[in-house]
Amino acid sequence: MKFILGKKLEMSQVYRPDGTVVPVTLVKAGPCIVTQVKTEETDGYEAVQLGFLPKRNLSKPQKGHVKDLEPVGLLREFRLTKGGADMKRGDKVEAAVFVSGDRIHVTGISKGRGFQGVVKRHGFHGQKASHGHKDQERMPGSISAGGVQHVFKGLRMAGRMGDEQVTVKNLEVMEVRNDGIIAVKGAIPGSRNSIVEIVSA
């Protein structure tokens, strides 16, 4: 299992050998430091904790946690299958662990859209723009008969949109560059400079 933390940069495009253009997202992946290895015996499950982005001013508990290591400001944990922890504290994880053609899952926090109506949030069509529909074009319409006397949980209505964890699965790594930038086919969640987790599919 391969995994790394990265910073989303921007979208771009690359060319396949046959000349077709592929839209890609560029991610500055790593270098990450293994700050903790959790095992079945000590923690009840197996996981590896990675540190990313150097930071100068750490709190005392943070300094103690990364003692004898490069001070990092961001920590993320990756669960492993049993017997999968072959790393040790202090190891470095670089973008070169991935190669072109790898399939990956990318997790990030989607862009926050604020409070939105049903047309933008759920793709409702709205109402007819004809006689008798004054100021109703983007309204949700009826929300069912009144016999139950309450709104069912999960009903698609207006509300806060975005700013939640999203995982896009089975993306393809198009290329891995020497400066640690990974070109991922397609779009991934988050705004520019947001943190993403990349895990092998």
Predicted local distance difference test score (pLDDT) of residue 41: 87
DSSP category for residue 118: H
CA distances to 22, 26, 47, 174 from 17, in Å: 11, 19, 39, 12
> In which residue are the tokens 């319409």 written?
141
Contact 185, 23 (CB under 8 A): yes
Predicted local distance difference test score (pLDDT) of residue 30: 79
10-residue averages of pLDDT along the chain (201 residues): 93 93 94 90 90 89 88 91 76 91 94 96 91 88 81 92 95 92 94 94 86
Measured distance CA(194)–CA(197) in Å, rounded: 10
Predicted local distance difference test score (pLDDT) of residue 83: 64
Domain 3-130+153-200 classification at class level: mainly beta
> In which residue are the tokens 């999960």 written?
154
Measured distance CA(68)–CA(47) in Å, rounded: 21
Contact 184, 22 (CB under 8 A): no
Question: Domains of the chain: which residue ranges?
Answer: 3-130+153-200
